[in-house]
Structure formats: structure tokens, C-alpha cells
A and B are shown apart, each in its own frame.
Chain A
Amino acid sequence: MHKQATLWQSFQHMRQLAGKQQKPLDRTLSQSAIAAMLEGAILLALFPVAMLFESDLMAGNVTSWLIFILFGLAVHFALNWHALSFSHGQPYAELVYELHEKLSQQLHRMPLSRLSQYRDGEVANALAASVEHITMPMGTLVQVLVRLAVLPCMVFLGLLWIDWRLAAVMATVILALWPINKLKQKMTEANFAKLSQAMINSNSAILGYSQGMAVLRACNATNGAGNRLRQRIQQLCDIQTRSEKRNIASNISYGLVAELGVWAMLTTAVLLVIYSDLSVLYLPVLAIIMLRLVEPLGTFAFMLPIFSLMRLGAKRYSDLMDINPLPTLGHTRQQQDSSITFKQVHFSYPGTNNPAINDLSLHCQANSITALVGPSGSGKSTLIKLITRYDDVANGSISIGGRDIRSFSQSELMSQIAVVFQDVYLFDDSILNNIAMAKPSASQAEIEAAAKAANCHDFISQLPNGYHTKIGELGGKLSGGQRQRISIARAILKNAPIVLLDEPTAALDSESEIQVQRAMAELAKGRTLIIIAHRLSTIVAADQIVVLDDGAIVEQGQHRSLLEEKGLYHSLWQAQMRTKQWHFNSVE
């Protein structure tokens, strides 16, 4: 049966995720299973107990049954107590801890190129919450499930012993439920694709409507857009309603077969009492047992959404954990200096055919400045990312001081490189920690020196809590330039021999722009620098200027010689010079 299979699979998946806690989990599950068997046995023992009512109630042999029941109950309690020690004891805390730790280690180890697929807020959130979803049903809910599976089996065996005809009715009912359940399953699956498409449509309409609200108002287009949004939302509702209505028949037939099935057994029992030899005293016991079986079936419906959350969470978690880290090669050559060499490098982003870097060779001497120039999409950022081993090259090699970067461990490699990104990321922590993360052993004096060099000491000191001000407390009050300078201070403090710099293009006012520029100059001193330059005037004095187009080097040299070549660099330079002189009356 399809449903059982997936339920079984996700059950196995859950066991596997339990890792070190798998043994305690298994123990819990077997204890629950034994407890459920015992529960069945005790319930079945009520049949002989009921027979005692026929004779004298206070006769001697009642005690032996009573002792069995009491003893059984004590064991049942003990088993349950132990079984719950997983979900309500130390193993659960350990399990949550281990899953959290494994997740953070994997995030730290996996290739950045793969991790970038998780950067979207919703995706990242779902990933973080997956641990919660995996662990929530472990223990309690699974125990309920075990009980649900074991108890009917026990009852069936008991009925075989009491009267095979009752067992036959029970088997018939279960067999009748089978095809109906399968039909239900099929209908749900058939609807699933349509439903999720409608959900995606409605979600993207909602997102567009909220993000575009300012534009909609400016264009007096709120009404039209509002109506389109309502249409999409209504479409989703229509599909949901339709599938709900379509399911009515199968739901009702399933419910009727299940509930009336139990009553069919009771009816059969009554008939057996009248027309055969079944004792009338069995009837109340049978009713008690059968109605106990129906009740948990109702709660089962409640657990299903929690299980499907678990299933999704487990899949999300395992998919991430299955990503292999980039391999570390054995190294053959000692690192000479901090020069960087690209040798016939090819690289494409996963899922694309176009090469982002196409047979590129380049040598950047130690302590020299290399400027990367070119139109957007020419491969400048990719080149910088590849030095940090964002992903591995498809062909060729990148080496630092003659040693292939793939032979470094991640921390060895990163200890040599400081990066200043376009979009600055500051952690929701103090400014001090945001700078100090580059060198946790740094003294306050060292941190302040780096901040001074990056031109951010003054404004930090003016904050109410100085260096201990939390980024979160400031809200949006840090300007783009201030954030840039904090990130440069971080890079200066790191004092790495290689600096990769992506010049900010975002609009800064001129005063903060100058301060950012000075901070960048400070960072560049005495290091191997590769800079993505958006403003060509900045890099006029670079040791080499590399002009990229379509992932390949088209020109290379120093400013003057490149201008004389009258190629792409020359035209880029001309365009920028024109822009610089431009003002809005110049068109007229």
C-alpha cells in the first residue's frame, strides 16, 4: 500500500537521522510495541474476567485474574515510563543538539556555490526550522503510531481465539478499507500538482503586490492590480474548494466503512449470542475493546500534518547533509609567496551551459595591484569568487605562490585572503565583534587601530555605547559608507597577504565616498590586491589592468598602453569621461 510504504520510509528516515540516538530511539519503539501488546493482552483478559460474572462474582479464581491484570498494568506502566524517557529525557536534548551541530558544521563545510541556493529568506528559514520539524514527532507521536499498528493485531489474534467469525468480520472490514484508502490517496496526488501551482501563483501575486505597492500607487494602478490579486487568490480558493468537494464521497465512504465496520462486528457478536454459542457476557467487553480501537483512529488524522511536516523537514535536512564538501588535494609544491596564478581556467555555473570563465590565464605578482575591468556579466566577480574557492574550476587551476588552492584546507586558504564585498554583511552583534571576527585574539588597541585606518573610529566612538553598540540597535541608522568602512576595518585587522576588493558602486555621498576610498587605500598597502574597479579613474596607476569580456581576457596592460590600443578599455574610458562631464542641460 502506497501510504504505508511512504510512512514506513519516512519512519526509517527518521531513525537514520537520529544518529547516535538511534539506539535509544529503537529501544523506545520496541518498549512501546511491547507495551501495546501487553495492553492488548490485558484488554483480552477482560473476556475471561467477564465470564466470572456468570458464576459467583466473589469466587476464588477472580483473584488470579485480578493479579494478572494488576501485575500487567504495573509492567505496562514501567514500559511506558521507559519508552517516554526518550522524548521526555536526556536523549531528546542530545538529539536536538546533535542535529543542530551537524547542520552548522555542514553549512561551514559545503561548497559556497551550493549554499547560495539556500540564501533566499524563506528557504533559509525552512532549513533552519527543519530540525524542529524532525524532532517534534520523535518519541510521543511515533509511540502512538506504534500502538495504532500493534493493538489491532493483538485484538485480531484475540478474536481468533474467542470466535473465528468475529476475526473474519474484522479482516473483511480492513480489506474493504484498503481500496477506498488507495482511491483517496490517488485523488490527493492528482490534485497536488494543480494545488501547488495555484499556491505558487497566489504567493507570487501577493509578493508582487506588496513589493510593487509604491509603484502601483504612483501609477494609479492599485485597483487593477488589486483585482488581479483577488483573482489569483480566488483561483486558489476555487481549487481548494473543488478538491474538498470532490473528496466528500471517498471521505464519507471511508468513514462509514470504518465506523460501521466496528459496529458490524458488534452486530455479528449479538447475532452469535442469539443464534450460536457466544456468551452474552462477551458483548460489553467486545464493545469496550472495539470502541477503544476506533478512538485512536480519529487522533491519527491529527498527527498526519505533523508527520508531513517531519517528512518535508527530514528531506530538506538530508538533502543538505548529502552535499559533499570540495575535496582537498594532496599538495606537491611549497607555497613561495602571495602571487596568484590562473592557468587555463574554465568555469560554468551549475545549471548553465555558457562558460562564465573561458580558458583564462593570468598571473598577479606578489604585492602588486591587478584591476579587473569589464562590462557587467564579464566574469569579474566570478574570478574573485573562484580564488576563495566558491566552487572548483572545471578545468585548469588556480594557485597561490605556486601551490594549487585545492591543496589548502579551507582555513589555510582563507587565512591568506581578506575580502571586501559589494554588499556588506554585518552580524547582529556588537561593532567590536563584527570587526574582531577577523582576529579573535586582537586587543582593543589593535581593533581601534584597524578602525582608525579604515576611517571609522570617529563615528563609532560617538555612538552611545561606542564599540559595544549592537548593529541591531542601530537599525538602519548606519549609512552605506559607514557599513563599508566597518567591513574594511575587518579586512585590515585580518592583515592577510592577499586582498580581494569589490569596489562599491552604490550611491554614497561624496564625503563618505572619500572616506571609503581612503580606507581602501590603507587596506591595499603592501599586499597582493585584486580589485574590481567600477570607476576607471581609481585604478589608473594599477600594475596591470585586465579587461574582461564574456569570461575571457580581451586586453591586458597598464593604463597608458591600453588607452593607446584604442580597444574596449579605451571606449569604456571615453564613456566614463563623458559621464563625468555630463549634466542635465548638456542634452539640450
Chain B
Amino acid sequence: MKNPIWALMHSVRGRIYAAMAGSATSYLLNLAAMVMFAYNITQPQALTNLTWLLICLLLVAASTVLRLASFTISHLASYKLEVDLRSQIADKLASLPLGYITEHGSGRVAKLMQYNVTNLHAFVADSTPMLAKLYVAPLASLLVCAVFSWQLSLWLITGLTVGFVVLSRAMQGHGDTSALYEEKNAAFNQQAVEYIQAMSVVRAFDSGSQSYDRLHNTTVEFKELLTRWLAASGHSVRFAMWLFTPLPVLLWVGLGGWWLMHLQVLELSALAVVLLLSGGLVEGIMPLMWLNHAIKRSQVAATDIQQMLAQPSLPEPAQPEPVKFSKTPSIAVENLSFRYAGQQAWALQNMSFNIEPGQIVALVGASGSGKSTLARLLPRFWDPEHGRICIDGHDIRHLSSEQLMSQMAFVFQDNYLFDESLLDNLRLGYEHIDQALVEDAAKAAQIHDFIVSLPDGYQTMVGAGGVRLSGGQRQRIAIARALVQDKPILVLDEATAYADPDNEHLLMQAVAQLMQGRTVLIIAHKLNTIKDADQILVIDHGQLIERGTHDELLAKPSRYSQLWQAYENSQTWLLTDDSEEQRYA
């Protein structure tokens, strides 16, 4: 059996083997008790000395305790495994390029750590002891039967073979159909989720029930598939399910036994033993079928986990050299080319520029031009394919994460806040910093007044159980956080994107505070905000096409002047009419 779970289980493999051995042994002890009982009750002299009966009871007691113990062992091992795997995934996540999360979505990563790991439980805790038993049971039972009567065993095996032929006929094409079933079922679930989440849109535009039809069609398709499947396999499955119940087997063995006794080649004791064991033989098959479902699910879960753990980590030097950075470092981007994994087209191509210490450099261009990609290469979300980025002359790939991050703060569009107090959020990673300093940062970021207006002030909890913050407030907290950290390089990507219109100016002031005295790379769609930049870099289709100051770039016909014109127009536009005379001055 090739199951990826076995590979993931290595930290608890010993315990699992112990649980499986315990479960198998427990079955054997029980088997011994049954054989002993069946044999002795057909021996007249056994009824005078009941020692064997006492042994039977002891065997059963031992078997029961051992069986339960093995389940306890496998459950405990499974809990430990869950901790181990979650820690491994967490560590891996911390070492992967940040781009991995951007590409896969943090929700999927979290799901991997929660549900996929939980899904393994069904296999590790419940199935492993059962599996051991299910493998040992038929072998041991048949062996014992053969010892008592090889003729009757042969008869039994013949019957079982017929049963399995019927069963395998029933299961013919089962794999394909069940894959199709899973697919259609998943399609319904996905569309239902889409339907739930987009219901306001569906209602607003659903005059002809078109989107409802999408869901309806899937439902109908699913029904047709089920009907076809059940019509094709229903009869043989029904037959097989009956065949593997104790009654037919008892009858089969009984008839065979009767015949063999008639031929005088079978003892009554042997018949009793075989009858007793054969019932249990078939009853193990049904749980195996139910188990299959759980095993399949855990296999899928395990494969995903394995793939994630096999992702290459962001390469870092094993022994980073100690580096002394200047107070305001310079940044050099040299012949930089980058494309996303699996993409032909370059996202950034042969780009070179310098940012002098303390300079403010703005990246400008249409959406999709590559600005954000460039901004994310600085904190090493990904590494470039060609060229390099240097801080104070040091290639960032030769720095440790700590060294790199000690120089650089970034504020992007969405800034995650943790389910902790505002204070802890503000001094994340800098827990030793004085609250007074944090408050200074919050004041500079224009968020202090808001925080102290809350009943619990800086101790207010953020998140599900705490205060709900608007987009602009979250961004000001992220800016305050960057101020607390006081790093010399600042990367801002649309740091004002989710501003609330009524307090946008507060956010702007916060950003201005943050930029002072730092080396800054900034991206903003609102071009007026960056027109004072020391250098404006215009990016188009991944290439650096123009550079200069605002005035220099406007002085000649340029891509920048087009963008500026578009910006001006968008700012003075009126909903009712775009004719000139209605524009307000």
C-alpha cells in the first residue's frame, strides 16, 4: 500500500507500529479463545475439568485490554503527530519565500495547517489498528481452519473466491465513476459557495435565473451521474453486500460440513471451529469498505502537506557575514530581470537604477506594469532570475533575513493586524520598547487620538473579539508600526489605498512623517502625492522607460505626462456630464 501518510508519520512511526502490533495480537488472543472454546465443548472429557474455560476468559480479557490500549496508543500518537506536523508546516512557512503565500493565498496555507492535518487523524488514530487486524484476521483464521480440516477450508476458500469475483465485478469501473462522483460533488459544493457569497449580485441581476441555472444544471448533472452509476453497479453491489453477511457463509460452511461429515472426513469439533471462525472472516470486509473513504481523504490531505513541505526554502547564507550599514543606506538595482514561476513573459526586464541615501524614489505606471513586483523583490518575496539588488553594496541574497529586515520596513495595501492588543500590534517584534515611544509613533501616525478615545485605549483588543477598524485606521496603525521599528529603508506600495475619504488627510500626514530621513521607494496612484519625489521612475510592461523629476518629465512629451493628464482628468470629473463648462474651478 503506497500511502503518503506513512512518510509523514515518521516521528510517531514506532508508536503506530506498536498500536498495530497490539491490535493484531489482540485479535490472535481472541481467536485462540474462540478455537479453544469450540474445540473443547465438542470433547466429552473437557467438561470435567474447566481449566480451559478459565484460560479462555483470561485470553478474552487480555485481548480486550490490548485492543483498547492499542487504540489509545494510536490516538495519542496521532495527537502528537498533529503537533509535529503543524510545527513543521509553521517552520516551513517561515522559511519559504513570502511569494509562496501571495501565490497560494494565506487561507489555503491555514487550511493546510488546520484541516489537512486534522484529516490525517482518521487514518492515524482510527484506521491503523483496524488495518492491522483486517490483514491478520483472514490469514490467521484460514490457517487455523486449515489445521482442523483442510477439506472444509478448501470449500470455504472456494466460496470466498466466488464472493470476491462477484464483488470485484460490482466494483468494476468503480474507481473512474467515484472520481467523477467526487468531481461533480465538488462542482456542486463550489457553485453553492459561489452562490451564497454572490447572492446579492445574483438577486440584482437574476431576471432570467441564469446563475441559478448554473447551479440547477450541476444538480441535474449530478443526479444523472448518480442514476447511471447506481443503475450500472447497483445490482451487483446489492448482491455482494448480502453475500458478505454471516448467514450465507454459515450456510455454505454448514452444507459443506454436513457433506464432509457424511463422507466421514470431518470431526464435529472441526466443524464447530470452522463455523465459529468463518462468520468473523467476512464481517471484517464491510468496515474495510467504510474505512476506504477515510483513508482516501487522508491520502489527499497528506499529499498536499507533503508538497508544501517539499517546497524549496528561500536560500539564505548559512553563516552571514557581519555587515555594517550606514545610517541611511543606498539601494542599487542592477540588471534586474524577474518572471513569475511558470510564466514565459518577463514581469521585470533588465532594470537598473540607484537610490541614493535618503532619496525618495517613486515608481509610476499603469496597473500590471510591474511596480508592485519590483517593490516586493526588495524584501525578497521572490529572488530575481538575473541581476541583483544591493543595499549599501551588499547583495540582499547574501544577508540573513534578520539583517535584511533590520534595514527595511514595508507598508503595503493590506496590513494584517493580530488578535492582540493595539499596543502589542504596534510594537510587534519590538516588545521591549517603552509604551511612551509607541505613543509618540502613534501620534506621528495620526492614530493616537483615536486609540485613546477607545474605552481600553492601547489595551483594546483587535480582531474578532475587539475593535473593528476601518481601512484607513488599519493603515495608520501599520505606519505607526513602521515608525516604532525605525528602520532606515522604507518600501510603500499604495500605502494610502484604502483611505477613508473623510480622514484621508490624516493618513497622508502619517506617511509624510514616516518618510522623513529615510531612503524610500514609494508607489502611489494619486500622482500629486509623489510629485516632489527626488526621482520618478516610469515603468511600462516591466521596463524602466523614463526617469527624472516631476518637472523634467512634464517638460517633454512623455508617458509620464500622459499619466499625469489622466490623473488630472480623473480628479476633476463629474458624474453628470464630461463637458468642460460644467467642471468646477
Contact = CB atoms under 8 A, between A and B. Distances in A.
Interface string B321-355: 00000000000000000000000000000000000
The SS class assigned to the B binding surface is helix
Contacts of B211: 427, 437
Interface stretch (B56-64, B154-162, B386-394, B449-457): B56-64
Nearest to B112: A210
Interface string A295-334: 1101100110110000000000000000000000000000
Interface stretch (B12-20, B172-180, B190-198): B190-198
B114 A203 contact: yes
Interface string B358-371: 00100001111000
Contacts of B439: none
Nearest to B431: A224
A177 B249 CA distance: 30
A160 interface: no
Interface in A256-284: 256, 259-260, 263, 266-267, 270, 273-274, 280, 283-284
Given A104-B219, A369-B575, A388-B203, A440 B208 contact: yes
B79 A244 contact: yes
A585 interface: yes
Nearest to B430: A219
B275 A284 contact: yes
Interface string B395-432: 00000011001101110110111110000000011110
A213 B238 contact: no
B525 interface: yes
B570 A216 contact: no
Contact of A436 (B210, B223, B241): B210
Given A224-B429, A505-B498, A237 B83 contact: yes
Nearest to A298: B287
Contacts of A491: 205
B567 A510 contact: yes
A299 B283 contact: yes
A213 B414 CA distance: 12
Given A206-B113, A209-B93, A224-B431, A514 B525 contact: no
A214 B416 contact: yes
A127 interface: yes
Contacts of B220: 97
Interface in B501-531: 501-505, 508-509, 511-513, 515-516, 525, 527-531
B86 to A, nearest CB: 5
Interface residues of B, number: 173
A283 B226 contact: no
A480 B204 CA distance: 21
B553 to A, nearest CB: 15
Given A90-B227, A104-B212, A252-B68, A542 B497 contact: no
Contact of A233 (B87, B202, B204, B408): B87
Given A299-B283, A524-B575, A437 B205 contact: yes
B416 A414 contact: no
B165 interface: no
Nearest to A83: B238
Interface stretch (B102-110, B138-146, B541-549): B102-110
B276 A587 contact: no
A87 to B, nearest CB: 9
A292 B379 CA distance: 66
Interface in B431-477: 431, 464, 470
Contact of B203 (A112, A203, A517, A538): A112
B570 A514 contact: yes
A206 B37 CA distance: 54
A229 interface: yes
Q: Which of B406, B499, B504, B563 has the most CB of A within 10 A?
A: B504
Contact of A217 (B50, B401, B418): B401
A267 B57 contact: yes
Contact of B197 (A119, A270, A583): A119
B380 to A, nearest CB: 9
A444 interface: no
B576 A226 contact: no
A414 B207 contact: yes
Contacts of B202: 108
Q: Which of B190, B246, B291, B582 has the most CB of A within 10 A?
A: B246
Contact of B114 (A206, A270, A298): A206
A505 B501 contact: yes
Given A124-B193, A206-B86, A206-B114, A73 B276 contact: no
Given A57-B262, A100-B219, A73 B575 contact: no
A60 interface: no
B270 to A, nearest CB: 11
Contacts of B283: 292, 295-296, 299
B552 interface: no
Contacts of B505: 575, 578-579, 582
Contacts of B286: 144, 299
A137 B91 CA distance: 39
Interface in B59-77: 60-61, 63-65, 67-68, 72, 75-76
A67 B109 CA distance: 64
A76 B41 contact: no
Nearest to A571: B502
A513 B570 contact: yes
Interface string A126-167: 011100100000001000100000000000000000000000
Contact of A255 (B64, B82, B268, B287): B64
5 contacts: A39-B247, A108-B199, A255-B64, A270-B41, A437-B206
| A-B pairs with lowest CB-CB distance, top 8 | A219-B429, A221-B429, A440-B208, A507-B497, A128-B192, A510-B567, A93-B226, A128-B189
Given A204-B419, A415-B207, A512-B367, 20 more contacts: A85-B238, A107-B196, A124-B193, A204-B464, A207-B110, A211-B106, A216-B94, A233-B82, A252-B65, A267-B57, A280-B47, A287-B272, A298-B287, A411-B206, A505-B501, A537-B574, A538-B575, A541-B576, A541-B577, A584-B530
